[in-house]
Amino acid sequence: MTGARLAGAEPLAVAIDEAVCLAAISRVHDPALAIRLRAACGYAPCVFDSEDNPISPGSYRAAVAAVAATLAAVDHAAAREAGRVFAAVRPPGHHALRDRTMGFCFFNNAAIAAEELLQRGLSPVAIVDFDVHHGNGTQGHFFARPDVYFLSLHRYPFYPGSGGGDEIGEGRGRGFTRNLPLAAGANDEIFCEALATGVTELHRVMTPAAWVVSAGFDAHEADPLGGMRVTDTGFARIGGILGEASGRAPLVAVLEGGYDLTALQRSVRAFLEGLQGALPLDFSVVGS
């Protein structure tokens, strides 16, 4: 991805092993979901599960490749070969539910990354989602668990309709979900103040052994869908806040939304420069 390369990230190789990817997917999703998607691609183009999930004959392969890139990012981050890794993947993932796809998402890359980090003994894990849309799939997967803290800032009310401030987890996971809903038109100051507040609250609850970031850039002022006013400078500040908050813990960022391609390139570059500027570490990018 051009924005990542301009930020100085080094590319990492990705091996696409379908069996390995399916095993990782099954930790987050009903195994039947992948089977259904693969079969549906045989008679694409069509929609899959919902009107906002059109598919082509290559959609299953692309979704598996995104998971493969996410797993490669986890491998390098967990082994400290690269302290911070950005997975430049599409399709995105944070709306994908256990047994159903929605919102352009098929497999939940962020949730898969968190589960893989836990499998490697890196517990607890913090997930921070700054996409303009609430990551309902990610929240749902960890809603009743205390080993993952889910922090989201997003436009509200907005698609997919979830993400109110009263959604804080349940059972043993109560207090491990924090939503910071923002009104339409929120700018750099509002986004960054909300993120700083959320990270401070997160640190009161846990000291993460690893971080996952759902990095969506559709809050950019040029994005055709988001209705927000975050600029390149704002995304650089978001990267700086997360870089400082995560310290030397492994961090895996996965690409979510962002639908103005020029703004997306600039935003990714700004975010990664902010992230690496907070604490110089090895920094790499993988892409599907």
Known catalytic residues are 95
DSSP letters spanning the chain: -HHHHHTTPEE------HHHHHHHHHTTS-HHHHHHHHHHGGG-SEEESEEEEEE-TTHHHHHHHHHHHHHHHHHHHHTTSSSEEEEE-SS--TT--SS--BTTBSS-HHHHHHHHHHHTT--SEEEEE-SSS--HHHHHHHTT-SSEEEEEEEESS-TTS---TT----GGGTTSEEEEEE-TT-BHHHHHHHHHHHHHHHHHH---SEEEEEE--TTBTT-TTT--BB-HHHHHHHHHHHHHHHTTS-EEEEE-----HHHHHHHHHHHHHHHHHHS---EEEEE-
Measure the CA–CA gap between 181 and 200, rounded to whole angstroms: 17
Scanning the structure block, which residue is given the tokens 């749902």? 140
